[in-house]
Amino acid sequence: MALLEEFEKQGRWLFRWRSYLPLFWLVACLALYMWKEDYVETPAGIRTAHESYYELACLAVSLLGLLVRGFTVGYTPRNTSGRNTGAGQVADSLNTSGIYSVVRHPLYLGNYLMWLGVAMLPQHAWFAVIFSLVYWIYYERIMFAEEQFLRGKFGEAYTTWAARTPAFLPDPRGYRRCDLPFSWKKVLKKEKNGFCAIFLGFALFHLGGESLKIVPTYNYALLYAGGASVVIYLVLKFLKKRTVALEDGR
């Protein structure tokens, strides 16, 4: 099989399981984080101000990724961007305005930042670098498969847009305002999983790390935020399943 077909086949497979395979990285990250908290600790085993600030910086990186995803999803029409969990690609139209005028794969850029914040928690630069390299190899296949699909469906319109728009690193000079209004309802409906995962994940990492210390110093604001994110998720899940409060027609 030629590399062209092989990359596309791999990309389609990875696209189908993209929500589950990165969990292996989460387990590795948690193991490294727990090891750091257990063995590489201050003599008194007490949390320092530096650790707290660094933890907040990691959280900010992940929230920046969620912001990128929210900005993307909030401006896009139905069946073009979002949490499509099916085995195949979906694109009723080609997004070329808004954030798609500065980067071709903003959702995967958002995903990268969300995961990068977690990968930074163990405070090992080599781990963050390895994560970035693996992420690129992993999502490069998915992006390749998506672009093959879009090229086949939209032809010259796609190639013209792709020629002026970078794949992953945004170029704000080409920004064009989106024609659609921003939809908070769509963001709340589509991105509740990521919102909950970030705050709950950071809270669980923090709780696990502090439980290993001689004198644990819990960040209760972070723990409460993790609990609140679960409540918010459940409320939004209920509204999505049982009501039309989050429906906006797109």
Instruction: Give the count of beta carbons closer than 10 Å to the beta carbon of residue 152.
Output: 10
Q: Which domains does the chain have, with CATH numbers?
A: 3-242 (1.20.120)
Percentage of the chain exceeding pLDDT 70: 80
**Predicted pLDDT at 9:** 67
Average pLDDT, the chain: 84
- As a whole number of angstroms, the distance between CA 3 and CA 15 comes to 18
**Predicted pLDDT at 82:** 45
Say what the pTM is: 0.86
Tell me the three state secondary structure of residue 98. strand
